[in-house]
Chain A
Amino acid sequence: MESKEFKNPVVSWIDHRLPIFSFLDHEANEYPTPKNLNYFWNFGSLAGIALVIMIVTGIALAMSYTAHTDYAFDSVERIMRDVNHGWLIRYIHMNGASFFFIVVFIHIFRGLYYGSYKAPRELLWMLGVLILLLMMATAFMGYVLPWGQMSFWGATVITNLFSAIPLVGENIVTWLWGGFSVDNPTLNRFFALHYLLPFVIVGVVVLHLVALHRFGSNNPLGIDTRGPQDTLPFHPYYTIKDFFGLSVFLTFFAAAVFFVPNMMGHPDNYIPANALQTPAHIVPEWYFLPFYAILRAVPDKLGGVLAMFGAIAVLFVLPWLDRSPIRSARFRPMFKIFFWLLFIDCLVLGYIGAMPAEGVYVLIGRLATIWYFVHFLIILPVLSVVETPRPLPQSISKPIFNAAGGGLAGAMSAPKEKVE
């Protein structure tokens, strides 16, 4: 890395020995970013901020939380009642988990729509899927900590999934629990891991950013930047745009925290855990519902578990399933239709996951599960071959289409010229 001259002599002195200021200047200030990014590109930085919010509030909560089955529920109530602003910190943390997932899901669907997973960004995408997996593990274990009814029964159901593994399944479950049921050892290790994993996520996020800055952001046109005329320095253009996005995000987030803090939670989790009383419906947190629906769609325990993990696994290999060289759905008319079908399919799966596994819900859940895998394993590879993409613009700064199909830009600008 070339070192840069700084006006401040202290900064210069440090930078000569430890080029941290050159690094920041290069990666956060002048970092060339495509000039045509739309608001869907805000969600990456929002996810990073959500992670920081979760870690900061989480550390504050850990200072007043007691990881013991006899005291966990009471300690959370103590935070809510007697710790200064404890109710605020906890509601931020509780709702922060949901908002973190909302932001990350939008971030992922943006990547799917604009083909951000394609070469040369395959590792960037795979690191992102790894972050999603780590987030799911962290969120699941965090939900167990208040030791309410849903905490306990959710932990029981999900850890029991591992018993589906042939031969050693039961042993693995006993090992996970640290006993013969979800109990105090389970709560203790979940607390330890819930504290650890966010920092692992931070590590993977750093790798995610390193991989991102290798080739820079994808963009809505999905074509590579061709030079300085296509890009803007990250600061101030995208710092201010991210700041604007952040203020909008915080408005929605604050509305949830201050006015409907329990909307995305389950009332049963305000009932202390009771191993002798099973809730009528054990429902996971909303962000797990699509995966829960896939789990229940397969009428075999091992098959269901494999399908659920398979739903994430297909995302890992997505760059090799979708072989089309065109990234953005804007230029892929058939892919665009199937993208929206997949999106609806995920919503249907989420809805089915919240419904009891009976009657017509089972059938819909199975069809939606099949469609999910058909989309990734059959439709995307086939589309790569059969689809005729629309002509690509030459560059970001000259979105002029090569072929006859692109008369839109000219038609829009013609009347305006007359007025001027």
Chain B
Amino acid sequence: MRRFLVSLIGIFMSLPVLAAGGGDTVLKQGDWSFSGPFGHFDKASMQRGFQVYREVCSGCHSLKYMAFRNLADLGYSEAEIKAIAAEYDIQDGPNDEGEMFTRPGIPADRIPSPYPNDNAARAANNGAYPPDLSLIYKARPNGADYLYSLLTSYDEAPSGTQVPEGMYYNAAYSGHMIAMPQPLYGDDVTYADGSDSSIDGHAKDLVNFLAWTAEPFLETRKRTGVAVITFLILLVGVSYGAMKFIWSDVKKA
């Protein structure tokens, strides 16, 4: 019966591979600070990633589950968050006269979307809907490596491959034809801290940022997990000892 358990664990371990599904792509491997049981976010990189989002991605992609107040996780102070929020115009209302009005953003506001609705987003993008990015890291198999690869794998199509009108060649995208034009080229934004602003640096910062938007409690979760598992391992030891003690008067059959 022991083999039974071993096989069960075996299947259990192979599940993510099964779930990942087929693909005609090979992903580049990144070295992510948030992976592993002791993973943590790189706040400086996330702030740069947020800058890339604001100056590049946010032209088409929304981030609708994030509020400005959440930016505190990136290390911004309350005053900085208020200042960032105030740079955005938020539609509010109706007021006492029944009119909608525009006011500067406050920390409690969600980050506004670039388009008023899905149809407007499609109309502006050749019929292809630019997905919301809040959950994109969790919504793709192997999210971090996938996003990193996607952002850095735009290329000339190999000879003989026809790229349809309005499509672009991307080696990391399933089927290689993607409707999103190449978003990053390197030096797209100017980093205040002088960090690597190559396409690689931009992509990595953005992945760090998007991993956080998808899983804002990742650090808390892992930290709690280490404590819980430590406790449980002790409990396993204590309960095993208690069991052996209680069973010590039973004659082995």
Contacts and interface: CB of A to CB of B under 8 A. Distances in A.
Interface stretch (A48-56, A172-180, A348-356): A348-356
Given A248-B236, A267-B143, A396 B243 contact: no
Nearest to A250: B232
A81 B216 contact: yes
B104 to A, nearest CB: 23
Contacts of A232: 250
A87 B221 contact: yes
A262 interface: yes
Contact of B225 (A102, A109, A259): A259
Given A81-B65, A254-B228, A267 B141 contact: yes
A270 B135 contact: yes
Contacts of A80: 217
A244 B135 contact: no
Contact of A251 (B18, B236, B251): B236
Contact of A102 (B8, B22, B37, B246): B8
B216 A240 contact: no
A77 B243 contact: no
B138 A236 contact: no
B79 interface: no
Contacts of B37: 259
Interface string A238-265: 0011011001101100110111111111
B192 interface: no
Interface in A98-116: 102, 106, 109, 113
Contact of A240 (B12, B138, B242): B242
B246 A268 contact: no
Interface in B209-248: 214, 216-217, 221-222, 224-226, 228-229, 232-233, 235-236, 239-240, 242-243, 246-247
Contacts of A243: 239, 242-243
B253 A244 contact: no
B231 to A, nearest CB: 9
A40 interface: yes
Given A232-B250, A240-B239, A263 B225 contact: no
A232 B19 CA distance: 45
B100 interface: no
B225 A254 contact: yes
A16 to B, nearest CB: 32
Contact of B139 (A40, A247, A270, A343): A270
A244 B143 contact: no
A203 interface: no
A258 B139 contact: no
B7 interface: yes
Contacts of B253: 35-36, 396-397, 399
A267 B239 contact: no
Interface stretch (A192-200, A280-288, A309-317, A368-376): A280-288
Interface in A368-420: 396-397, 399
Given A258-B228, A259-B222, A35 B250 contact: yes
A271 B137 CA distance: 11
B140 interface: yes
A258 B135 contact: no
A270 B22 CA distance: 19
B183 interface: no
B243 A109 contact: no
B253 to A, nearest CB: 5
Nearest to A82: B67
A189 interface: no
A275 interface: no
Contacts of A240: 239, 242-243, 246-247
A237 interface: yes
B149 to A, nearest CB: 15
B1 A113 contact: yes
Nearest to B175: A280
B243 A351 contact: no
Nearest to A40: B1
Most buried by B among A241, A258, A266, A343: A258
Output the residue of B1, B3, B16, B37 with the most chain A CB within 10 A. B1
A258 B236 contact: no
Contacts of B93: none
Given A81-B216, A113-B1, A347 B229 contact: no
A74 B225 CA distance: 26
A88 interface: yes
Interface in A21-64: 35-36, 38, 40
Which of B37, B138, B250 gathers the greatest number of chain A CB atoms within 10 Å? B138
A16 B151 CA distance: 75
Contacts of B139: 267-268, 270-271
Given A35-B250, A102-B8, A259-B222, A244 B15 contact: no
Contacts of B246: 236-237, 240
Find the residue from B8, B239, B253 having the highest chain A CB count within 10 A: B253
B166 interface: no
Contacts of A354: 18-19
A340 B4 CA distance: 9
A185 to B, nearest CB: 23
Nearest to A248: B236
B135 A77 contact: yes
A251 B232 contact: yes
A262 B138 contact: yes
B65 A254 contact: no
Interface string B170-193: 000010000000000000000000
Contacts of A271: 131, 135, 139
B236 A283 contact: no
Given A237-B246, A244-B240, A254 B217 contact: no
Interface of B: 1, 3-4, 7-8, 11-12, 15-16, 18-19, 21-22, 37, 65, 70, 131, 134-135, 138-141, 143, 174, 214, 216-217, 221-222, 224-226, 228-229, 232-233, 235-236, 239-240, 242-243, 246-247, 250-251, 253
What 10 pairs between A and B have smallest CB-CB spacing?
A258-B225, A270-B139, A354-B18, A244-B239, A251-B232, A247-B235, A270-B138, A270-B135, A87-B217, A244-B243
